[in-house]
Structure formats: C-alpha cells, structure tokens
Amino acid sequence: MAEKFDLQEREVWDGNYAASQAMRQAKVDVMAAYPITPSTPIVENYGAYVANGYVDGEFVMVESEHAAMSACVGASAAGGRVATATSSQGFALMVEVLYQASGMRLPIVLNVVNRALASPLNVRGDHADMYLGRDSGWIQMDAFNSQEAYDLALCAFKIGENHSVRLPVMVHQDGFITSHTAQNVYPLTDEAAYNFVGEIDPVDDMLDFSRPVTYGAQTEEDWHFEHKAKQHKALMDSVPVIEDVFAEFEKVSGRKYKRVESYMMEDAEVAIVALGTTVETSRVAALRMREQGIKAGVVAPRVFRPFPFDEIRDALENVKSVAVLDRSSPGGAMGAFYNEVSAALYTTENRPLVTNYIYGLGGRDFAVKDAMDIFADQKANADAGHITTDIQQFSGLRGPKLGFFKTKRG
Amino acid sequence: MAITSVKNLKEFSTANDRFEGAHTLCPGCAHSMIVRELMNCTDDNLVVTTNTGCLEVSTAVYPFTSWDTSWMHIGFENAASAAGGAEAMYKARKKKGTLKDNDAPVKFVAFGGDGSTFDIGFQWLSGAFERGHDFTYICLDNENYANTGGQRSSATPIGATTSTAQAGTHSYGKKEKKKDIVAIMAAHGAPYVAQLAPNKWKSMAKGFQKALETEGPCFINTVSPCCTEWRFDPKDTISITDLATDTLMFPIYEIIDGHELNILYRPKNVLPVEEYLAAQGRYKHLFKPENKHVIEEIQKNINEYWEMLQRREEARV
Amino acid sequence: MQDLKLCAQDKRGIHELEAGKDLIGWDEVTQGSVLPSFEGDASNVAHLKQEERCYSDFNSYTATVASWRVKKPVFNIDVCIDCQNCWVWCPDTSIISRDKQMLGIDYDHCKGCEVCVEVCPTNPKSLLMFAEQEDLETALSQWPEKKKKEK
Ligand SMILES: Cc1ncc(C[n+]2csc(CCOP(=O)(O)OP(=O)(O)O)c2C)c(N)n1
Ligand code: SF4
Ligand code: SF4
Ligand code: SF4
Ligand SMILES: [Mg+2]
C-alpha cells in the first residue's frame, strides 16, 4: 500500500507538479516515460513518489519517447491504468505510436506540456506539438493554468476509460507559462480524487487468458476504412461522456468545465478565439476593450478534439468580427485552428468576418496590449463590414509587416 | 513453469498446437517452424508481441488471427517495449490483485525479424534488456527484409545479393560483415543468450524453455531460412538449415550471464561453406571465377569465428 | 481426398481465407480491430486438442488455404514409424498427431511445401507428393517399394 501523501486544502503548484499529483491520485498502474523540457518535472516528480513509496504502480524509465508510448500501448492492452508525459521533439518521436494507441482504442493519458518544434531548436511554449497530434485520433483537452492541468488530468482517465469511449486522451498545458509558474491549486483529497476517477474496468485485456486477444492486425483496403470510420465515430460520440464527466467533476470540486469556454460573449461584437494561456491574456484585454466601449469577448475550446464545431458556432455566430489566434507555424496555409473555426462559422446565417493571427512562436511573449491591438483590428472590420487587413497577419513579429490574402467580400 | 517434455519427438508431439494454420507465410517458411516450436514447448499463458515483418503481416490478417494466446503488434521497431510495458502491467496488477487469475504464470515473448532486431528496432531491444524486463526476445534471422521484398539488413552476410545490395557487373552483393548480434546481446549482461536453429529441434526447444524459465531478459537468434529470398525450393528448408549448421555458417551455442559460453552442436563432419552457398540462388554469382575471393573470405571468417567460440568455451570467462 | 475432421463440431477450414467474413460495415467491425481467438472460456486451451476447442470465427483455424496447393502430400500409414519428424517441421500445423501417433494431413491448412516428405526417414517414405486431384486409393496403389541404399 502506498504511503499517505499530506495535502493542504490550498497548494502552490506549477502545472507540472499539478499534473504529477493527478497521476499519483489516479493510482496509475504503469507510467512509462522519458524526460524532455518542459515536461521533465512531471516524470521527476513521479520518480520522487516512487522513491518515497507514494505510488504502488510500476515506473518504467525507457530509452526514448517512442519506447515510452510503445510501452504504454503494451501496458494499456494488458488491462490497467496508464499515463505518461512529453513535449515537442519527444511528442514528435511518439507520433507513430500515437496513431497506433488510438487505433487500438487504448485509454492512455498523455500530459503534453506544449513546446515549439525544431528547427531552429527552441524549448519554449508554442502549440506546434499540440497541432501535430490533431489528426492522431486522441481526445485533446487544453488547460489554461495549473489548476486546470490538475483537474483535466483527473477527468482524462474517467473520459478515456469509459467503455463507450475507450480512447486515449491528451491534456495540454503551455510550456513554462503554465508548467513552471507556481499558482494556487485546490486539490481534491486522495480519496475524493480516486473515487471520482474510479477503478479501470479493462476491455480486451491481454492478461485475461480466458479470452486471448490479438491486437494490431493488418487491415488492407477491404477493412481499414471501416475501422478508421468506427474510430472517428467513437471520437465524435465522446462528447456526451465528456460533458457528463465535467458535470460530475463540478459536483466534487465546484469547478465547472465546458467544451467551449466563452467569456463575455453574450453581447460581444468582436471576439478572439485562442488556446492555452493566451485565453487568460485575451480575457484581460477584453475587459479593457469594454472599458473603451468596445464589446469584446473571448472564446476558447477546452476540448480541442473532438473539435467543438457546434459550440464554436453557437458561441460566435452573432459576432461581427472574429480573430483566430494560431500559436504554430502554419507551414504554407492559413492557421489550422483558423481553418477549423472558419469552417464552423461558414455554416451560420451571419457568417462573421474571420481573420487569422500567427503569434507567440517559440515562446514569444503575447501581452495584453497585443490582444487589445487585435481587438481593435476586429472593431475596424466590424465597422467597415469587411476585413480591412490582410486575412493572415503576424502579431509580435519583428521586421517588415508580414501578411497574406485580402478579402473578396469588401 | 509448465514445460512440455522434449525428451524425444514422440513426447513433444503430444503438445497441443497454439499457433494455427491458414496463416499466409510462404509454403516452407521457417518462421512458422520456429514460432510453433516456441508455442509448443510450454503450456504457460503467453503474451506475445511481434515487430512488423513477414511473421506479423501473415498471422494477423483481419479478420483472422493464427494466435491462440494474447498477441500484439504495434510497429516495426517496438515489440520489445510493448512486451516490457505488458510485463510491467502484469507486475503492477499482480501486486494489486486485479488479474483475472492471479496465480497462473505468464510468460512474455517478443518476436522480431533481423531487420527489426539488428537495425530499426535495436534501440528498443537494447533499452528493454538494460531495464531487465522478464521476457524472451526471439529474432527470426532470415538475413534480409523479406516482407518488403528482400532488401539488405545488417544481418545480410557478405556476398549475398539483395535488392539493395545487388550482385552485378561491378558488385558481388553485400560487402559488409554481418553484425554479431549474439555477442552484442550477451554484452548487455543478459542471463541467457543463444543462437539456435530449427533443424536441431531439441536444442532449440530446450533453449526456448531455458529462456522462458530464466528470470530477466533472454535473447535468442534463430536461423530462419527464407526460401523466397534465399532462392531455394521450399521443400529444402530443413536441409538448407542442416547445411547452415554443418558448415558452421550458423554455429549453435549459448552464452549464460554474458560470459559462460557453451557450444550446443559440434558437427561430426564440418562441411566446406561452398556446399551451403551453392544450395541457394542468392549466392550463385559467387561461383564466378572473379568472386572466388569472396567465398574464401567467408570460409576464413567462419573458421576464425569457430576458433573463437571454442576458445571462449574452454576459457569459461 | 482423405478428410481428417476429428469430430462433428470441428470448425477447421470452414472459411475461405480471401473472402474473409461477409464484408460487414463500420458499425459491426470489432473495436480497435481486436480479434478474440476463442468463444467462451478459453483458459484451458493449452490442454485441449484442437478438435476440443471453441474457436471463434476469427481464428485462422477456421480458414482454409487448400487452394494454395498444386501438389499434396499423401500419407501411407503402413510405412510410418511415428517418428514425428513431419509434425515438428510442418510450417503450417498440418500434421495431425494424436497420442504420439501420426494420423494424417490437415488438408485445409497444408500448403503443399513438401517439407514433411523431405524429413520423413522411412524407406520407402511414408509421405509422398501427388497431384492435387489424385485420390487416396490410387495414390496408395502407386506407392514405391523399399529402395536399396545407393552410393
Ligand atoms: C517505421 C517503418 N519503416 C519501414 C517499414 C517497412 N517494413 C516493414 S517490414 C520491413 C522489413 C522486415 O524485415 P525483417 O525485420 O527482417 O523481417 P522479415 O520480414 O524478414 O521476417 C520493412 C522495411 C515499416 N513497416 N515501418
Ligand atoms: S518471404 Fe521468406 S520469410 Fe517471408 S514468408 Fe516467405 S519464406 Fe517466410
Ligand atoms: S506439405 Fe508442407 S504444409 Fe503440407 S503437411 Fe507437409 S509440411 Fe505441412
Ligand atoms: S515423418 Fe514419416 S515416419 Fe515420421 S511420423 Fe511422419 S510420416 Fe511417419
Ligand atoms: Mg528478415
């Protein structure tokens, strides 16, 4: 039996520590991991729990992130609770196995501390790794601060392990800004946390020899499509389970989560749509804009996959001008997030104006002032009735102004 | 552990097969002879993981599986990590008492081709051995990437032609020596490492049983003649293996705890390597006069290696 | 052809390999493409003979590769010494041995590689290759006599 870990009602934790405490409280059976900045402390903290008897599970320190996810896949198919953590290059090395984990419907929890992808090498936070995972078939949830990194990690087990879901889940937090910034966190007691998460009830358990199973069969053109469609359907159908788990979590914690978090959107004329810590920055900017008489609001997907197409649309359909912020190098296209939000808004009656801002790459600071400038652009668009700037712009970039494409609506 | 008696073939043949037919390996493929023997030499519960390669693509083709025990394939390189992860989960659940049957012994086995073992999956294999997972890794060494049509691997011997190291007017095939995987795995300090061959069914079955019984990571390289890429008639799979062991191209031996070497088969009559080479299409070009030196080099390498093995066995260090 | 189905409920070779299952839709394929090998409790399979097991329709035991063969091995029980060479080296689990006795060939799974014939030590051999269409009677009637050792 694991030693008792003393917790205060209010702790001061950074995002990494918050995530590792959630792993401990969920009584993970196998944690297979490999260190990389800025998620290393999650693994180290867990190592300290192992060394001091605070966890009963196995801690497998592998030789690479690819092996980490591979061991997680083997462990998860062997019927217990499994989690790991990574960032950036480590995430990139895992990608092959991410697809295999979701294809085999294994409810692994992966804490992703977002960081830029090289080259050039950079250890700071942007969303390049998060975007790299977006077609991998995982549920992706996004924490904007340490408390949320903790809360969502607990929810992740309960969502992924639900028998009508059976999918792996990523919980994202921003590198350094969340992962290394100590904030107030109100943890559940160990009992309350474990009661909430519950015991895992294995499906297709490789260690149940009364029913041997084969994982990872070859499916060619006569079978592959059906399997991928079924998997996609499961991801789409995870929505009610996610909502139920959020509702149950509110009961035990008093903290309420929604698939899309809207801030001052009831009467908003202009909006920023963003992910991660930028959400909180944009909220402060929206307040300031309102002091100037501009009806600004902020919309943020809490659940990035399955993409909340419906709720994004509901939140934004009555707005006049929307800025979608992508914290990842778009690589020859409009930002991926921009494309997804635009597609949702295209199906509304009003079709708000939608512009794209690339920002914050490699941890470049994104200040309240930057968000306010973006709101001001949106206000100008709203007043003009068309997009007055380039459709894709860059915020916080040195050098001559960079932008792409003009509207044909104006 | 519940091992099947391998005292003689009659006894062994009472084992109930747990690797089924109607897989899609080529007729005469040695991979399945080796896998069958592994599955038949124990009646313990098995978790088997397999790297991508002929074995994997032929034994789990949706909607059919040929495996009567729990089996997993993830990718080309990571069967060792998958076995390690499953083994860690077994330990965790046994401790917590959440297994369906907490008393039945479970063994973990990973299979890989030479491509996944010597090349792309080597890091995963080495890592799993360093961590000391309790599992047995079996390499099905057919000295080429057979599943993708016969490209060179670092297990391909000097002089063999493959599609990416071809014999031609300016080439005699592969120029580099085969990687000594057995020595490399023994150097990990593994408790049991061996090179075995399916023609010597008894030493192979005993080696498998020893590996399964031994706690910690065990490695076995098995010679797996591939009629398709080595270019011989499928009926000759066993006679080619006989030539491989009798010319000492594939010496049969084990290394215990990284140092104690035992030779498991000493041919009464060591045959010249030409006999082995001549039986296979992949070495045909070596019999041209300009390539005579390659055969000489192969023979010299064999002699030196055999000498080394004998000395190490004698020295017991 | 000599058929060695060992009991009535034996599901060996009932499916065409290439045809697979009736091609069912996305809503019916197994979750995660996982394939259970048996129906019901299979805890004891290692101690059951194949004909005693409850194979699931996903088990390749229930499939046939008979169409791969151009020639087939024929077994002559009168010459056989039950050495089990053919059993240990058959790559397709197609030698049916029960209680240390070679009974015959599983023609649903045999691919006709001829390995069993090569490794059979008797003189004349107890296994020989014949054309796929040849019936057992005719094959047995053509069995060669004991050969004198050459060389
Ligand atoms: C990451 C990755 N790279 C390449 C391949 C293509 N590939 C599949 S199997 C194979 C060769 C297998 O060779 P080996 O391991 O020797 O097994 P064999 O088929 O010879 O038994 C290759 C190159 C792959 N599946 N995955
Ligand atoms: S190509 Fe070689 S290894 Fe692959 S199935 Fe055929 S004989 Fe076996
Ligand atoms: S011909 Fe090949 S597959 Fe058929 S029984 Fe003989 S060894 Fe087995
Ligand atoms: S190899 Fe020949 S003699 Fe031996 S059991 Fe088979 S058929 Fe009988
Ligand atoms: Mg190979």
Q: Per-residue pLDDT for C1 more than 60?
A: no
Residues of A in contact with B123 (CB under 8 A): 63-64, 67
Cα separation, B118 vs B122, whole angstroms: 6
Every domain of chain C and the residues it spans: 15-19+34-141
Task: Select from C94, C96, C132 the residue to mutate for testing ligand 3; criterion: most ligand atoms less than 8 Å from CB.
Answer: C94
| pLDDT tens column, A128-146 | 999 999 999 999 999 999 9
Cα separation, B227 vs C110, whole angstroms: 17
Centre of ligand 1 from the C-alpha of residue B120, in Å:
8
**Ligand 3 atom 4, closest CA:** C110
Atom of ligand 1 minimally distant from the CA of B119: 15
Cα separation, A391 vs A404, whole angstroms: 6
Cα separation, A106 vs A82, whole angstroms: 9
Tokens of B126: 């080495």
**Look-up: residue for tokens 């691919």?**
C111
Q: Which residues contact C97 (CB under 8 A, 6 or more apart)?
A: B13, B14, C82, C84, C87, C103
Cα separation, C120 vs C141, whole angstroms: 19
Nearest-CA distance from B137 to chain C in Å?
Answer: 20
Q: Parallel, antiparallel, or unpaired: how do β-strands C63-64 and C15-16 relate?
A: parallel
- CA-only gyration radius of chain A, Å: 21
Task: Select from B26, B151, B156, B227 the residue to mutate for testing ligand 2; criterion: most ligand atoms less than 8 Å from CB.
Answer: B26
Domain that holds residue A200: 11-253
Same domain, A109 and A244: yes
Residues of B in contact with C47 (CB under 8 A): 16, 43
Same domain, A242 and A360: no
DSSP annotation of C104 reads E
Cα separation, C109 vs A341, whole angstroms: 55
- CA-only gyration radius of chain C, Å: 18
Distances (CA, A) of A51 to A32, A35, A55, A191, B105: 15, 17, 9, 22, 28
Q: Which of A73, A214, A218 sits opposite B85 (nearest CB)?
A: A73
Atom of ligand 4 minimally distant from the CA of C83: 4
| pLDDT of res. C3 | 61
In a domain, residue A6? The reply is no
Q: Is A183 helix (H, G, I), strand (E, B) or coil?
A: strand
Give the mean pLDDT of A316-341.
98
How many domains, in total, are found in chain A?
2
| 8 A C-beta contact, residue A231 and residue A137 | yes
In a domain, residue A21? The reply is yes
In a domain, residue A409? The reply is no
Please choose, from the candidates C109, C44, C13, B134, the residue with its C-alpha nearest in 3D space to the C-alpha of residue A212. C44
CATH of the domain at B249: 3.40.50.970
Q: Per-residue pLDDT for C5 more than 80?
A: no
How many domains, in total, are found in chain B?
1
Task: Select from B76, B124, B154 the residue to mutate for testing ligand 1; criterion: most ligand atoms less than 8 Å from CB.
Answer: B76
Residue C121 contacts A, CB cutoff 8 Å: no
Q: Closest residue of C to B224, CA-based?
A: C91
Domain end marker among A230, A253, A276: A253
Please choose, from the candidates B297, B253, B255, B251, the residue with its C-alpha nearest in 3D space to the C-alpha of residue B274. B297
Percent residues over pLDDT 90 in chain A: 99
In a domain, residue A3? The reply is no
| pLDDT of res. B3 | 73
Cα separation, C123 vs A26, whole angstroms: 68
Q: Closest residue of C to B205, CA-based?
A: C88
CA dihedral B115, B118, B123, B125 (to 10 degrees): 90
Q: Which of residues 108-137 of B touch A (CB under 8 A)?
A: 123-124, 126-128, 130-131
pLDDT band at C147 (very low <50, low <70, confident <90, very high): confident
| 8 A C-beta contact, residue B60 and residue C32 | no
Neighbours of C16 (CB within 10 A): 12
In a domain, residue B33? The reply is yes
Q: Is A207 helix (H, G, I), strand (E, B) or coil?
A: coil
DSSP annotation of A111 reads E
Architecture of domain C15-19+34-141: 2-Layer Sandwich (3.30)
Minimum mean pLDDT range among A236-245, B268-277, C3-12, C78-87:
C3-12
**Look-up: residue for tokens 């197994």?**
C30
In a domain, residue B58? The reply is yes
**DSSP per residue over A166-179, as a string?**
---EEEEEETTTTT
Task: Answer yes or no: do A212 and B68 touch at CB < 8 A.
Answer: yes
| pLDDT of res. A140 | 98
Cα separation, A320 vs B296, whole angstroms: 82
Same domain, A148 and A203: yes
| 8 A C-beta contact, residue B44 and residue A33 | no
Distances (CA, A) of A159 to A44, A312, B232: 26, 21, 55
Residue B213's Cβ-side half-sphere holds a number of Cα atoms within 13 Å equal to 12
Q: Parallel, antiparallel, or unpaired: how do β-strands A321-326 and A353-359 relate?
A: parallel
In a domain, residue B258? The reply is yes
| pLDDT tens column, A296-314 | 999 999 999 999 999 999 9
Cα separation, B140 vs B223, whole angstroms: 6
Cα separation, A324 vs A274, whole angstroms: 6
Q: Which residues partner with A297 through β-bridges? A: A271
In a domain, residue B2? The reply is no
**Ligand 1 atom 1, closest CA:** B76
CATH of the domain at A48: 3.40.50.970
| pLDDT of res. B168 | 95
Task: Answer yes or no: do A203 and C31 touch at CB < 8 A.
Answer: yes
Tokens of B72: 């997993």
Cα separation, A325 vs A200, whole angstroms: 37
| 8 A C-beta contact, residue A305 and residue A259 | no
Same domain, A79 and A60: yes
Cα separation, B140 vs B113, whole angstroms: 5
| pLDDT of res. B150 | 97
pTM: 0.97
Please choose, from the candidates B54, B45, B154, B57, the residue with its C-alpha nearest in 3D space to the C-alpha of residue B101. B45
Same domain, A387 and A297: yes
- Closest ligand to Cα C113: 3
Distances (CA, A) of A391 to A22, A318, A324, B184, C59: 41, 20, 10, 58, 56
Same domain, A235 and A102: yes
Cα separation, A390 vs A399, whole angstroms: 16
| 8 A C-beta contact, residue B250 and residue B197 | yes
Ordered strands of the B218-223 beta sheet: B260-263, B253-256, B192-196, B218-223, B136-141, B106-113, B45-50, B70-72, A213-215, C35-36
Domain that holds residue B85: 9-315
In a domain, residue B185? The reply is yes
CATH of the domain at A345: 3.40.50.920
Residue C49 CB-density burial (10 A; 0-12 exposed, 13-18 middle, 19+ buried) = middle
Domain end marker among A253, A283, A310: A253
Q: Which residues contact B122 (CB under 8 A, 6 or more apart)?
A: none
Peptide bond into B234 cis (omega under 30): no
Nearest-CA distance from B177 to chain C in Å?
Answer: 30
Distances (CA, A) of B287 to B131, B158, B239: 46, 14, 21
Tokens of A200: 């895992």
Same domain, A157 and A84: yes
Centre of ligand 2 from the C-alpha of residue C46, in Å:
27
Same domain, A244 and A314: no
In a domain, residue A4? The reply is no
Neighbours of A3 (CB within 10 A): 11
**Look-up: residue for tokens 């693994």?**
A43
Q: What are the start-end ranges of the H helices in chain C? A: 85-89, 115-119, 136-141
Cα separation, B52 vs B74, whole angstroms: 8
Tokens of A375: 């709101």
| pLDDT tens column, C95-133 | 999 999 999 999 999 999 999 999 999 999 999 999 999
**Ligand 2 atom 2, closest CA:** B226
In a domain, residue A410? The reply is no
Same domain, A290 and A265: yes
Give the mean pLDDT of A229-233.
98
Cα separation, B167 vs B195, whole angstroms: 28
Kindly report the backbone phi and psi dihedral angles of residue A235, in degrees, each rounded to the nearest multiple of 5, phi listed first. Answer: -65, -45
Task: Answer yes or no: do B10 and C100 touch at CB < 8 A.
Answer: yes
Please choose, from the candidates B172, B147, B142, the residue with its C-alpha nearest in 3D space to the C-alpha of residue B283. B172
Q: Which residues contact A183 (CB under 8 A, 6 or more apart)?
A: A12, A13, A14, A145, A146, A147
Nearest-CA distance from A204 to chain C in Å?
Answer: 8
Kindly report the backbone phi and psi dihedral angles of residue B216, in degrees, each rounded to the nearest multiple of 5, phi listed first. Answer: 105, 180
**DSSP per residue over chain B, as a string?**
--BPP-SSHHHHTTSPP-B-S---SPTT-HHHHHHHHHHHSB-SEEEEEE-SSHHHHHH-BTT-B-BSSEEE---SS-HHHHHHHHHHHHHHHHHHT-SSSSSS-EEEEEEEEHIIIIIITHHHHHHHHHHT-S-EEEEEE-SSBTTTT-B--TTSPTT--BTTB-EETTEES--SPPP-HHHHHHTTT-SEEEEE-TTSHHHHHHHHHHHHHSSS-EEEEEE---HHHHT--GGGHHHHHHHHHHTTSS--EEEETTTEEEE----SSPPPHHHHHHT-GGGGGGGSGGGHHHHHHHHHHHHHHHHHHHHHHHHT-
| pLDDT of res. B230 | 98
Per residue of chain B (317 residues), what is the pLDDT tens digit? 577 899 999 999 999 999 999 999 999 999 999 999 999 999 999 999 999 999 999 999 999 999 999 999 999 999 999 999 999 999 999 999 999 888 899 999 999 999 999 999 999 999 999 999 999 999 999 999 999 999 999 999 999 999 999 999 999 999 999 999 999 999 999 999 999 999 999 999 999 999 999 999 999 999 999 999 999 999 999 999 999 999 999 999 999 999 999 999 999 999 999 999 999 999 999 999 999 999 999 999 999 999 999 999 999 87
From the CB of B207, is ligand 1 less than 6 Å away?
no
CA dihedral C11, C13, C15, C17 (to 10 degrees): 140
Centre of ligand 2 from the C-alpha of residue C43, in Å:
32
How does the average pLDDT of chain A come out, rounded? 97
Task: Answer yes or no: do B85 and A63 touch at CB < 8 A.
Answer: no
Residue C113 contacts B, CB cutoff 8 Å: yes
Residue B143 contacts A, CB cutoff 8 Å: no
Q: Per-residue pLDDT for C12 more than 60?
A: yes
